[in-house]
């Protein structure tokens, strides 16, 4: 069994990290505006210092400020895309599991069809249909990330269909739709919520991958993927900070959100804590 003190420490560390990052992206951008076109070559590639804690990039711009603005964009993409994908996946999974029959077979074949195409390839196809921007990236991530939620929700609904409370509702004359909306859907919402939380860092990495390939946000706009992509030449020249700090702002939120999701999973299934310590 996992040590309760370790469990509490992980929860506090993860929650504190997420709170600090959220406060940073909410408070800093409105207070300190970012000029995307600003160039000051006299401060080009300055190493980290008191004046510039993260150093400067190859155009002399403060890297800390650009990282915070980039994290704001990445979190926006992650949160909105995860919400949309979870709603779509939950609706598809609940309908497939509750209605069964040809509806289940049709929806699951649709899920299989989407799953047969690699996520990144399908995402590239979606963003290629629009001009570079935030909303095409959100649409790309949402379209490619609802599949796992649909499968999870369908499996949970199928496991609930044989429960006594469902049999009682059906015996009382409730229709399939009423059983799904009033009984099955509320029971699977915690699992869907957990899937949404875990999807946020996945969506952030997906956005960063698209931006790194030059297919996401415009190259001049601060996003974590663009910052890493723009720092490739600097890294080859031995300037490590333009790559390190945007990379850390991808890794740290991922670990923090995973820590919170692990605590949530333990609460949903307390037996797991003794079977598989996290």
Q: Do the beta carbons of residue 211 and residue 127 sit within 8 Å? A: no
- Stated as kind and residue range, the H or E segment containing 109 is helix 101-115
129 — phi, psi (to 5°)? Answer: -80, -15
pLDDT band (50, 70, 90) for residue 140: confident
Instruction: Indicate the DSSP class of residue 240.
Output: -
Rg (alpha carbons) of the chain, rounded to whole number: 22
Place of tokens 């960063």: 208
Instruction: Indicate the DSSP class of residue 42.
Output: G
Q: From CA 15, how far away is CA 226, in angstroms rounded?
A: 27
Taking only the tens place, the pLDDT of each residue in 145-204 is: 888 888 888 888 888 776 776 667 666 666 666 777 777 777 788 888 888 888 888 888
pLDDT of residue 167: 66
pLDDT of residue 43: 80
Q: Do the beta carbons of residue 195 and residue 86 sit within 8 Å? A: yes
261 — phi, psi (to 5°)? Answer: -65, -35
Residues 6+ apart with CB under 8 A from 14: 255, 256, 257, 258, 259, 260, 263
pLDDT of residue 264: 76
Q: From CA 135, how far away is CA 101, in angstroms rounded?
A: 36
Place of tokens 């297919």: 215
Taking only the tens place, the pLDDT of each residue in 194-251 is: 888 888 888 888 888 888 887 777 777 778 888 888 888 777 777 888 888 888 988 8
Q: From CA 24, how far away is CA 162, in angstroms rounded?
A: 47
Q: Do the beta carbons of residue 54 and residue 45 sit within 8 Å? A: no
Q: From CA 123, how far away is CA 151, in angstroms rounded?
A: 20
Q: From CA 129, how far away is CA 144, in angstroms rounded?
A: 15
Tell if the pTM clears 0.85, that is, is over it. no
DSSP result, 150-212: HHHHHHHHHHHTTSHHHHHHHHTT--HHHHIIIIIHHHHHHHHHHHHHHHHHHHHHHHHHHHH
48 — phi, psi (to 5°)? Answer: -55, 140
Q: From CA 85, how far away is CA 38, in angstroms rounded?
A: 36
pLDDT band (50, 70, 90) for residue 1: very low
Q: Do the beta carbons of residue 230 and residue 57 sit within 8 Å? A: yes
Instruction: Indicate the DSSP class of residue 62.
Output: B
Instruction: Indicate the DSSP class of residue 117.
Output: S
* Dihedral of alpha carbons 260, 261, 264, 269, sign: negative
pLDDT of residue 185: 76
Instruction: Indicate the DSSP class of residue 46.
Output: P
Neighbours of 56 (CB within 10 A): 24
């Amino acid at each position: 069994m996992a040590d309760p003190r370790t469990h509490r420490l992980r929860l506090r560390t993860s929650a504190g990290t997420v709170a600090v990052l959220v406060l940073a992206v909410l408070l800093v951008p409105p207070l300190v505006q970012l000029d995307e076109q600003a160039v000051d070559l006299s401060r080009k590639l300055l190493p980290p210092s008191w004046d510039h804690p993260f150093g400067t990039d190859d155009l002399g711009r403060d890297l800390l400020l650009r990282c915070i603005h980039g994290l704001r964009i990445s979190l926006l993409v992650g949160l909105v895309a995860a919400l949309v994908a979870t709603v779509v996946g939950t609706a598809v999974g609940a309908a497939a599991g509750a209605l069964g029959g040809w509806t289940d077979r049709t929806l699951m074949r649709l899920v299989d069809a989407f799953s047969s195409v690699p996520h990144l390839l399908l995402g590239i196809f979606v963003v290629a249909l629009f001009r570079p921007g935030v909303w095409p990236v959100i649409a790309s991530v949402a379209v490619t990330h609802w599949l796992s939620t649909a499968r999870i929700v369908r499996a949970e609904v199928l496991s609930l269909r044989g429960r006594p409370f469902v049999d009682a509702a059906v015996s009382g004359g409730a229709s399939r739709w009423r059983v799904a909306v009033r009984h099955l859907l509320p029971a699977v919402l915690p699992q869907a919520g957990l899937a949404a939380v875990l999807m946020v860092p996945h969506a952030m990495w997906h956005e960063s991958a698209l931006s790194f390939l030059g297919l996401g946000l415009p190259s001049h706009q601060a996003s974590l993927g663009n910052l890493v992509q723009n720092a490739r030449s600097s890294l080859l020249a031995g300037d490590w900070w333009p790559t390190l700090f945007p990379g850390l702002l991808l890794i740290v939120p991922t670990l923090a959100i995973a820590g919170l999701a692990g605590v949530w999973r333990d609460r949903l299934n307390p037996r797991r804590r003794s079977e598989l310590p996290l």
